[in-house]
Structure 1
């Protein structure tokens, strides 16, 4: 089924607002025009169901005799505040496999989810018990919504009133830090970016990544910015949406990074390695008023046993520094890439994925 066009232009129905408790609904923006992570997940989940229903019709199947099989895991249901997992949980983020349309099918007994009571590490144990090939069992997880949630979409920078104060604190903590925003005041926190004129001292950077979120509670993620010191932190963003060009750039960066990791023989040491595309264009002279037109990539290595908590891989320790530097060099060759960053954040305070 070639459904790319349907997904790009997919929409869903949403509450009028977060505060509105009435049954009133509004139509979301299309997937290729929204910047909201929640909307992206809901549109993808609901569009999948709509396309599945179209295929059922084309195959002349009886809807009442068709079931939807999903690889839903317990954390998906917990984070989506599904009643299947808990009657008291609050929504952390809606998963594509637990949208309103999916819940309606579940209530009708039309959804088969054999893994819904298990976590990722337990599923791998089951896979080995069943004799599945190790390359399948130990393969890095990939998010259901795909690269859509690895593109930080934005039209304008999110700078709240506490931004100057946060930046001042960071300049005291580190020689130079630039904090940038990846969400809004209600639902996300700042990202702290650290750059330096000397080669990175990874143990010190990891220490800062633990210290900074404790000192600044509105920061939940710390990254190292490769390259020369950032003289002028970006104050605006490159307008970024889920378009074919943007996704193509991320796809190329993702391919280069994972190809290098596989060739190094260290893929098995890393539990997961999301590659994130951010709307940040560094190294522009503010006096020349150059428009923001490039984007930057984040390498997010993650080591965990249960995927509920975990740490970033320290270059020179869990993964060779030359492997990381080779990733940076290859990603920098991709047209339209401004800088490459390395995510130093543990979980918590950060999440595995950025959205």
Structure 2
């Protein structure tokens, strides 16, 4: 067979690859080596759902580095390349001699086969979407997985010849080697994606690998995370003071409660009202934290200076950068007045770090790695000369894990289940230039959306539900008079973690009610439209 010579697709190095695991004392670890799959982080989430800690690392991680982490098992992710491409990504071949269980998923399976002496070829027919899995060996990896269960396929290559010692566990009508194993060496491979929700028996396979093959115990619990985080915060901060950027969302609110439990009054929550919050939220937030929970909150009214910074700015990345930079400027100014503060705490999450990875080139191979999707103001807007030391206990957690932590430490349910709200706020829900007029229009429209979904008791049916203002005007007619006003876009999203999302099928009667209220009650709007785009190809936010 003649190898193809095209350049491999760009691969994302894990931006958090050089950081310690969340729990330094956590020894029950499953490592995911990332070969560029869009589902790598989803594998980590599925493993964590079994209460076993998992970490996504670069495929370049060496055997020596892996031995230092002492994982109970390794999973090789899928990826966009073919293993026979010139310069295709490879893992350290020494992992096959580590003597621990390894599971290859899609590209990971094909790499396993190739490195151990088998062959991978371009399939006569690719396999994408749902396929029935016919089980040949219902043991080990496929224990308690029903025959002909549905699995999610996404591959154009197939294993043509197995390495010595490997056996077929399952096949599909199109793929003879859909699941394979070397039982003695505890090496396993699947040509499908067990981590996605479309794979009906996928979670059972992951549990089999984690519990029965890797012999892990379910020790990655919310309670364990809280206890260890408190110890780590106390050890890192000592007797110093911490300034927290409080936004009122579940991330920063959970962090506020966690810090308050760890160091008490040595944490000060600074709520900077940048003018991009939703209607009535600043007042409600300060009252809740300061009066009800007696957590130190400093309210800073900075609306005018933030709006001035965005004057004439239309590029979304520049808006995010300016907002992030201004946040730090305000922090530094106010901390000198209130301080001194040595640490800045942020509610940065794992998806924030992943999506904010900078584009760069590997110095050894010249390969382009890690493509930036968009910057998050918690990550991408920080200046290089930041005076504060950062405290980010949540940066390896997914949103659903943060909610569990919030509940465990007593965060009110109205905040725990609050829809995610972007750090730059309404500034990135106004496409183009942000003005005081547009902010007032969007606030009023957004309030109507929230009022109606709460009144109909469906607020928690959505991951997010919000309004977007477009910087165009269209002709309308109201009261026999011509209007020339803005359109409002309604965005209702269903998701589990924000990594992928689908548009929600909202009843037409409710959409009609919301539309009627907006065009009748909000000055400057004469048209309402509904966004029916999923993520991917779109993002949840418009900017």
Structure 1 residues 103 and 77, CA gap change in structure 2 (3 angstroms): farther
Corresponding residue to 1:96 among 354, 370, 377: 377
Matches of 1:314 and 1:258, distance apart in 2:
17
Q: Secondary structure at the match of 2:488?
A: strand
Instruction: Report the counterpart of residue 428 of structure 2 in structure 1.
Output: 149
Q: Does 1:43 align with 2:322?
A: yes
1:38-117 pair list within 5 angstroms? 38-59=317-338, 61-62=339-340, 65-81=341-357, 88-99=369-380, 101-102=382-383, 104-105=385-386, 110-117=389-396
Calculate the TM-score normalised by the size of structure 1.
0.61
| 1:118 maps to 2:392 | no
**Structure 2 partner of 1:347:** 535
Cα deviation, residue 100, structure 1: 5.2
Q: Provide the C-alpha distance between the structure 1 equivalents of 2:384 and 2:373, rounded to a whole number of angstroms.
A: 17
Partner of 1:9: 308
Could you say which structure has the higher strand fraction? 2
Cα distance in 2 for residues equivalent to 1:284 and 1:258 = 25
Q: Is the 8 A contact 2:325 2:382 kept in 1?
A: yes
Q: Measure the CA separation in 2 of the matches of 1:100 and 1:40.
A: 10
1:242 deviation in Å?
A: 1.2
1:16-43 Cα distance to aligned partner (Å, 9 max, x none): xxxxxxxxxxxxxxx1210000000000
Q: Distance in 2 between matches of 1:264 and 1:284?
A: 29
Report what 1:327 is aligned to.
Answer: 514
Contact 2:489–2:530 (CA<8 Å) still a contact in 1?
yes
How many Å separate the matches in 2 of 1:312 and 1:82?
28
Is residue 278 of structure 1 aligned with residue 470 of structure 2?
A: yes
Distance across 2 between alignment mates of 1:74 and 1:33: 32
Cα distance in 2 for residues equivalent to 1:310 and 1:113? 26
Stretches of structure 2 lacking an aligned partner (at least 5 in a row): 1-299, 363-367
Q: CA deviation at 1:72?
A: 0.6
Distance in 2 of aligned mates of 1:119 and 1:82 = 20
Q: Residue 134 of structure 1: CA displacement?
A: 2.3
- Provide the residue aligned with 2:499 in structure 1: 308
Asked if structure 2 preserves the Cα contact closer than 8 Å seen for 1:81 and 1:90, the reply is yes
Q: Which runs of 5+ in 1 are unaligned?
A: 11-30, 154-240
Tell me how far apart the structure 2 counterparts of residues 273 and 133 of structure 1 sit (CA, whole Å).
20
> How far apart, CA to CA, are the structure 1 residues paired with 2:451 and 2:358?
37
The aligned counterpart of 2:459 is: 267
Any conservation in 2 of the 1:281–1:339 contact (CA below 8 Å)? Answer: no
Note if contact 1:82-1:98 (Cα within 8 Å) is conserved in structure 2. Answer: no
CA-CA distance at 1:102 after TM superposition: 4.6
Normalised by the length of structure 2, the TM-score is: 0.40
The answer to whether the 8 Å contact 2:494/2:504 transfers is yes
- How far apart, CA to CA, are the structure 2 residues paired with 1:119 and 1:103? 26
Structure 1 pair 100/306, CA: closer, same or farther in 2 (3 Å)?
Answer: closer
User: How many positions carry a matched residue from both structures?
Assistant: 232
Deviations 1:74-101 (A, max 9, x none): 1111111169xx9942211111112353
Deviation at 1:304, TM superposition (A): 0.7
Contact between 1:271 and 1:303, CA under 8 Å: does it hold in 2? Answer: yes
| CA positional deviation for 1:104 | 4.2
Judging changes above 3 Å, is the alpha-carbon distance between structure 1 residues 97 and 104 closer, same or farther for their aligned structure 2 residues? farther
What is the rounded CA distance, in whole Å, between the counterparts of 1:146 and 1:252 in structure 2? 14
Aligned equivalents of 1:245, 1:265: Cα separation in 2: 31
* Structure 1 stretches of at least 4 aligned residues deviating more than 4 Å after TM superposition: none
* Equivalent residues of 2:493, 2:504 under 8 A apart: yes
User: Separation in 1 of the partners of 2:388 and 2:523?
Assistant: 49
Q: Which of structures 1 and 2 has the larger relative contact order (alpha carbons within 8 angstroms, sep 6+)?
A: 1
Asked whether the 8 Å contact 2:469–2:487 carries over to 1, the reply is yes
1:22-37 maps to which residues of 2 (within 5 A)? 31-37=310-316
1:298 Cα deviation (Å)? 0.4
Q: Looking at CA atoms only, which structure, 1 or 2, has the larger radius of gyration? A: 2
1:279, 1:294 within 8 Å by CA — same for their partners in 2? no
